Structure 1
Amino acid sequence: MSAAAPTGQVPVRHRCLTQPTRQDGGNFGGYAEKRASYWRGRYKIQDGKYGTVADSTGAVVKFATKREAKQAADAEEVTVRRGQWRDPGLGQETFGDYASRWYAAQDLAASTMQNYRRHIEEHLLPDFEDKALAGVLRTDVDAWEKKERAAYAASSVKTWRSTLHLIFEDAIDEGLLTSNPAARRRGRGKRAGRSRDRGPEKVVTDALGILLTAERAALLSGRDDEFVATVLKGYTGKRWGEIVGLETEFVRRDAFRIEWQLYELDTGELVRCPPKDDSYRTIDSPDWLSALVSDHIARTKPTPCSCHGKTYVFQGQGTARTGGHQGAKLVDVARLAEVSTGTVSNVLNRPDRVAEATRVRVEKAIADLDFVRGGTVSEHAAHWRRNGFATWLFTQAASGWYPKKAPQEARPVPLLGEQWPGIPVRGRNASERADACWMPIAKGLTPHGLRHTHRTMMEDLGTEKVLMDERMGHIDSSVSARYAHVTAGMRKRLLHGLGEQWNAALDARRAMSPHSPVAVLDRLLRAGGKSGLPVRAASPAWFWGDRA
């Protein structure tokens, strides 16, 4: 440093020298040492070892006067006597080197390790990799956060800063730093506009919305699995990984046990790991929901997957159907012709076994849908993929629109409206052959939004907080929670309330149309069992509309 430091400056870094030449004598306090054109401050660290006053980068401070050098040296010697002195070499390791060493030392869940790696590599290293740990200032962190917020959601940036804060905290524990530049100081900064840091409110729906979304998801996939899974998620509040990772051995007569989840890594690997935050729990199930899942297992007869060797309740779809599949499927032909898939298969392979009128009807459906044989049958994948399920089934079911995917823009799901609530049209010229489209049920609803929906439904039923926390897998560490306990009466009231909501949703759906192209729902609608509750006002026009 060429310019003299201000009078009274207390630097935080030190340069150590041995064998000093004491010029002013004495046994206590720092002293000033004359150099060619400046003064420097010297202070005693221990017997035979002296330090020179330096700035935060380790450079010697060049004082203009002897007095200034002496005052700075005295201040430094006080820190030594108080045991607050640090080796000036500490903290000079680059952030990139320390972050790599820090990451390698962690032993956490695969999902957490993946998130930390993404945070470090994609958002922290580009700005801090070559900086010394001790050289990262609070102003550097604030400038980084401001830049990130201009490009990313505030909630995401907050998460990345938390990771940065954790790394620096561990550096402090190792004695490499004395303070954390990523720490937020309370009461600092502007108050106005803080609400902008909040993310958008989560979209939720109700019991009828769950039912209708589940029906549409099944229509889009061409099978009942998505109907059962969507209803199960909406009425249990399970996390996505807990639905995908539900093993048949944990499906019980009156409950579902949460012991494992399947977490999808960025590599595509599905890792079998404990539920988030070790939220092992048993979720009580109404009789009708247990029957729905048990019947699904009996019908699909799942077998152990090759990746984990476990038998899971739900399977994924074929590879061609997980991302933007456009061709008509065998089930689409069957629905349009109002026959079974076996009958369609007979028309394709053994037409002599099918009645003439039925064969003509099936062949017309094949022509109308531009069905291409051999391009639609694929082996089911072992598990759903989060993005495939959300993007190509759930989002379309909730909003009624296909998402934007180059080269195509976002567009309504084209339907043939002859059989309510409409059959999705696929294949060439699907939009031209369609005559209807779906109206949104809950635009912006996501699979995780069903977890929020379940909590909202319980709130609406007046469920006790202790039972809601148990069901959702949340931990309340408050004192009052220690004295709250779940009782049989609480469980009974909740299951009764959920049953009433389900029956009311079935009644409302039956009022729209007494039948459904989805086999499992059609059986429920035919079974009757009216709840006697008021039916929500709705009409087919609310569920689908003319494309004109």
Structure 2
Amino acid sequence: MGYGENRGDYWRARYKIAPGKYGTVLDAHGKAVRYKTKRAAEKAAGIAEDEAAKAAAQPPAAPEPEQMSFGEYASAWYEEQDLAASTMQNYRRHIEEHLLPEFEDALISEITKGAIDAWERKERERGYAASSIKTWRGTLHLILADAVDDGLRDSNPATRRRGRGKRAGRSRNRGPEKVVTNALGVLLIAERAALLSGRDDEFVAVVLKGFTGMRWGEIVGLESAFVRPASVRVEWQLYELDTGELHRCPPKDDSYRTIDSPEFLSALLAGQAARAKRTPCECHGLNYLFSGHGAANGAAQRPGAKLSDVARAAGVSTGTVSNVLNRPEMVAESTRVRVEKAMADLGYVRWQTSGESAAHWRRNGFATWLFHPAATGWYPKKAPEEARPVPVLAEPWPGVPARGRGAAGRAQACWLPIARGLTPHGLRHSHKTMMDELRTPAKLKDERMGHEDGSVQARYSHITPEMRRDLMDGLTQMWIAALDTRRRMAPGSPVAVLDALLREPQE
């Protein structure tokens, strides 16, 4: 509480600033004000103390705009976004894993084009694909463009100026061309995927993807109610977030559509629907055409804190937590310390996965352990094991994968590659190529793929029943030719659904 201090021939006003610390009321020149009476000094001290208390209660002043760091601005920028969960996850990953390690402490107003180009060179030297680096730079461009709008910069240094730099042509940032396959390749890969999983589901799913061009998330999220006698309706997809959650959301770019299915594919889907589980999945309470394969991630059942809990407590993505655990040199020091503190506070312990069956496929598990070995004949590298051929028993053809301890020693053969470098998404490209071979009109191709052509020419084009019928006939002929070729290789198959097709009487 303020008080008046007797200084002999005058009184000085003293007021409390902090516990055990007092200040003196000063005049405009910084000298102590001399009061004639004690009461006047006490009154001035009281007023000064109230003002000091109000000032202390005010939040700390925000940094001057020109002094704001990239880390501070990027954090505020991210919080202001209101986009799809998948987009928010991607932005967060770009920022935390690739932008903050380089620019976190740099002032937003002092980031230069040279610094951005140097960062891009470092990313290339680390082995990242040119397309990935281009995507991350695009996110940086968005952030800095908004910083310009907010008056924190005069220009955007991440903007690329055309016609400048090395004259390397358009190929400088091009990645390798996407690998595609034909109808026979789709059938053979589908058969191998089913042999690896030990069930028909994977055969039907790969054929569905190859002959409709559906996106991976659309197939995983295909509900049984949307499978019709001669078509498949795309209304939803399941998008896998970093937290492990499969987020049910509209298809990419709201590409709702009805995809015509040839008679052979409709029959495969009807058989799959008859085999599918009748009970809804626990995560969404819906019936899906396809269920997961292999062990489920035990994170949901195990006791204690999970990776997602650590990410939430530290305010980062699960990908950043994974990097702290496995590649700490890729994470900014301040972020790493924050994550490690969250681990310690929550008592996080790394666990092994459980042996329970998964409700849905996981993108990485399907691509890595089913699709990749089926397409290439090789299991991928996974420490401590190097990449290795899929060991198979020679009979029945095309060979049944050997399993268990000593499988390589018991193997009698291995698979040759069908399409080395092919990915699940490559089947979408493959389907587009099939339609090109069949001379399918562009309007029908766009509808089937879920693309949108905003040109005037597209507006004046229309789809007719004859176009649809020609496409279905063409795809059916491709399937019949692939089955005939496969039948000449061997008259039967260890995959039940394919074996029945191969043994059907030929017309």
Tell me if both proteins adopt one fold, taking TM over 0.5 as the criterion.
Answer: yes
Secondary structure class of the residue paired with 1:319? coil
Counterpart residue number, 2:94: 119
Structure 1 residues 201 and 232, CA, compared in 2 at 3 Å: closer, same or farther?
Answer: same
Counterpart residue number, 1:102: 77
Counterpart residue number, 1:159: 135
Counterpart residue number, 1:501: 478
Q: What is the CA distance between 1:380 and its match in structure 2?
A: 3.1
Question: Does 2:369 align with 1:418?
Answer: no
Q: Is the 8 A contact 1:415 1:437 kept in 2?
A: yes
Q: What is the CA distance between 1:245 and its match in structure 2?
A: 0.3
Structure 1 residues 312 and 440, CA, compared in 2 at 3 Å: closer, same or farther?
Answer: same
User: In the alignment, which of 395, 415, 432 is matched to residue 455 of structure 1?
Assistant: 432
Question: Does 2:485 align with 1:511?
Answer: no
Q: Give the counterpart letter for 2:135 in structure 1.
A: T
Secondary structure class of the residue paired with 2:109? helix
Q: Is the 8 A contact 2:296 2:359 kept in 1?
A: no
Counterpart residue number, 2:237: 261
227-236 or 424-433, which deviates more? 424-433
Q: Give the counterpart letter for 2:363 in structure 1.
A: R
User: In the alignment, which of 106, 131, 144 is matched to residue 131 of structure 1?
Assistant: 106
Q: What is the CA distance between 1:139 and its match in structure 2?
A: 1.5
Per-residue displacement from partner, 1:471-522 (whole Å, max 9, x unpaired)?
1111112221121122211111111100000011111111111111100001
Counterpart residue number, 2:202: 226
User: In the alignment, which of 223, 229, 232 is matched to residue 247 of structure 1?
Assistant: 223
Per-residue displacement from partner, 1:18-68 (whole Å, max 9, x unpaired)?
xxxxxxxxxxxxxxxxxxxxxxxxxxxxxxxxxxxxxxxxxxxxxxxxxxx
Name structure 1 gaps, 5 residues minimum: 1-87, 323-376, 531-548
Q: What is the CA distance between 1:379 and its match in structure 2?
A: 4.9
Structure 1 residues 431 and 138, CA, compared in 2 at 3 Å: closer, same or farther?
Answer: same
Secondary structure class of the residue paired with 1:407? coil
Structure 1 residues 210 and 195, CA, compared in 2 at 3 Å: closer, same or farther?
Answer: same
1-structure distance, mates of 2:465, 2:275: 32
Alignment of 1:181-200 (within 5 A): 181-192=157-168, 194-200=170-176
Question: Does 2:360 align with 1:383?
Answer: yes
Q: What is the CA distance between 1:392 and its match in structure 2?
A: 0.6
Q: Give the counterpart letter for 1:495 in structure 2.
A: M
Q: What is the CA distance between 1:193 and its match in structure 2?
A: 5.6
Question: Does 2:386 align with 1:405?
Answer: no
Question: Does 2:248 align with 1:272?
Answer: yes
Q: Is the 8 A contact 1:315 1:380 kept in 2?
A: no
Per-residue displacement from partner, 1:260-280 (whole Å, max 9, x unpaired)?
100111121110011111111
Counterpart residue number, 1:304: 280
Question: Does 2:144 align with 1:168?
Answer: yes
Q: What is the CA distance between 1:222 and its match in structure 2?
A: 0.4
Q: What is the CA distance between 1:293 and its match in structure 2?
A: 0.5
Question: Does 2:121 align with 1:146?
Answer: yes
Q: What is the CA distance between 1:312 and its match in structure 2?
A: 0.4
Report which structure shows greater RCO (CA 8 Å, sep ≥6). Answer: 2
Q: Give the counterpart letter for 1:435 in structure 2.
A: Q
Counterpart residue number, 1:23: none
Per-residue displacement from partner, 1:370-412 (whole Å, max 9, x unpaired)?
xxxxxxx965311001111111111101111111112222111
Q: What is the CA distance between 1:231 and its match in structure 2?
A: 0.3
Q: Is the 8 A contact 1:164 1:182 kept in 2?
A: yes
2-structure distance, mates of 1:136, 1:172: 12
Q: What is the CA distance between 1:527 and its match in structure 2?
A: 1.1
What CA RMSD, in Å, does the superposition of the two structures yield over aligned residues?
1.8
Q: What is the CA distance between 1:173 and its match in structure 2?
A: 2.1
Question: Does 2:415 align with 1:475?
Answer: no
Counterpart residue number, 1:339: none
Q: Give the counterpart letter for 1:116 in structure 2.
A: Y
Q: Is the 8 A contact 1:234 1:453 kept in 2?
A: yes
Secondary structure class of the residue paired with 2:204? helix
Per-residue displacement from partner, 1:81-113 (whole Å, max 9, x unpaired)?
xxxxxxx95432111111000000111111100
Q: Is the 8 A contact 2:296 2:357 kept in 1?
A: no
2-structure distance, mates of 1:479, 1:92: 48
Secondary structure class of the residue paired with 1:181? coil
Question: Does 2:181 align with 1:205?
Answer: yes
Secondary structure class of the residue paired with 1:134? coil
Per-residue displacement from partner, 1:417-450 (whole Å, max 9, x unpaired)?
1211111111121111111111111111111110
Q: Give the counterpart letter for 2:109 in structure 1.
A: A
Q: Give the counterpart letter for 1:121 in structure 2.
A: E
Q: Give the counterpart letter for 2:480 in structure 1.
A: N
Q: Give the counterpart letter for 1:440 in structure 2.
A: P
Q: Give the counterpart letter for 1:251 in structure 2.
A: V
1-structure distance, mates of 2:119, 2:277: 53
Q: Give the counterpart letter for 2:413 in structure 1.
A: A
2-structure distance, mates of 1:127, 1:463: 48
Secondary structure class of the residue paired with 1:527? coil
Q: Give the counterpart letter for 2:103 in structure 1.
A: F
Secondary structure class of the residue paired with 1:132? coil
Question: Does 2:452 align with 1:488?
Answer: no
Q: Is the 8 A contact 2:70 2:105 kept in 1?
A: yes
Q: Is the 8 A contact 2:230 2:260 kept in 1?
A: yes
Q: What is the CA distance between 1:239 and its match in structure 2?
A: 0.6
453-462 or 273-282, which deviates more? 273-282
2-structure distance, mates of 1:465, 1:91: 51
Q: What is the CA distance between 1:161 and its match in structure 2?
A: 0.5
Q: Give the TM-score normalised by the residue count of structure 1.
A: 0.69
Secondary structure class of the residue paired with 2:385? coil
Structure 1 residues 303 and 188, CA, compared in 2 at 3 Å: closer, same or farther?
Answer: same
Aligned length: 389
Q: Give the TM-score normalised by the residue count of structure 2.
A: 0.74
2-structure distance, mates of 1:482, 1:207: 31
2-structure distance, mates of 1:321, 1:143: 39
Q: What is the CA distance between 1:185 and its match in structure 2?
A: 1.0
Per-residue displacement from partner, 1:319-358 (whole Å, max 9, x unpaired)?
1799xxxxxxxxxxxxxxxxxxxxxxxxxxxxxxxxxxxx
Q: What is the CA distance between 1:302 and its match in structure 2?
A: 3.5
1-structure distance, mates of 2:203, 2:120: 43
Secondary structure class of the residue paired with 1:108? coil
Per-residue displacement from partner, 1:184-219 (whole Å, max 9, x unpaired)?
111111112641311111111100000000000001
264-273 or 139-148, which deviates more? 139-148
Q: Is the 8 A contact 2:296 2:356 kept in 1?
A: no
